[in-house]
Structure 1
Amino acid sequence: AGIIWAAEERGFPAPAAQEGFTVAGSVMPFTSFDVFVISIVLITLTMTTIFFKKTGVGLAMRATALNQEVARLSGIRTNFTRTLSWAISGAASSLAGLLITPTSNLSPNTLDLVLIIGFTAAVVGGLDSPAGAVLGGFIVGLVISFVTFYLSPEDVFLSILAVLLIVLIVKPRGILGGKDSRRV
């Protein structure tokens, strides 16, 4: 991407207002664009949950992810489901980029930090739970806001690492992650 568009930052305007809501004379710390982003995330979460739990293709994708050989022997077209998984991942990544770009300009290296924060949020919430990943995102976002406002912006990544370590020590599969298997 850097070769085609150069390393300069680019952005585009937000589809909703960037000013905070005014309630009883005081400006709230979130904007209508923030509400728009949260709405899109909740709609996407609901749609993907329904897709993976209620449709044949979604169940086939879950089976392929769990055990590709058994899924293939069961008659599932694993090559198709893997290709579809990549396509859905690309669409989800594009949507995330569209939602991030209005608040921070885009360059070839912009999303490195977003990737680190997003991965941490997914691990905190539980890698096998989409709702857990969203919950982890809210937790990590609150930690970032708290540390930036009350402490120092330089301490953000240290605090994220501390939250990640605490969650991994207390609940290794994440807050809403699956149950640990018991070996006998």
Structure 2
Amino acid sequence: MAMANNKTHCFTCNKEKITFRCEGCSKRFCFMDLAEHKQILNDELNHIINNYDQFKQTINERKQNPSLIKQINQWETNSIEIIQQKARDCREIAIKSSQTFIYDIEKKFNNLSEQIKEIHKENEFNEIELNYLKNQLIEVTQELNNLSKISIQQDSQLFINEISIISSIKKSKFTFSLSKLHQ
């Protein structure tokens, strides 16, 4: 009885041997080369797994410390510094203006006080002079009470550069099913 010849050529060594068909690539391999082919496939799978892990790590890093948030935080810090500097400048101007304003009123008041002392000392005065002194005192008092000569003016134009988020990302549907590959 003759033995049936089940031998075909191996894809790798090209020798006529008993071969086994790989379902993935449909090539036939001898037992030794099939093991090597399986190892190559395992190496490729491990490479894909490493790429997957690296990608996953990149996603986690971006979740924890995204550069857009850093940029927004930097904009906020810069804007606050600009506002604080402007506020310091305005405070300084307000203090100097108020001091100058009060100094001028105090000067007028002291001048008026000297006139009153002089009139009182000489004891020579009449209704016209008394009305003049009274009106001057009222005027200086009103000036002191009317600090509206110094006020804040707000500009309607933007003082801080405004930022906004612009995204050109379109949501895509990405569905991957391993079961579709085996059909």
Query: TM-score interval w.r.t. the shorter chain?
Result: under 0.3
Q: Which has the larger radius of gyration?
A: 2
- Higher RCO, Cα 8 Å, sep 6+: 1
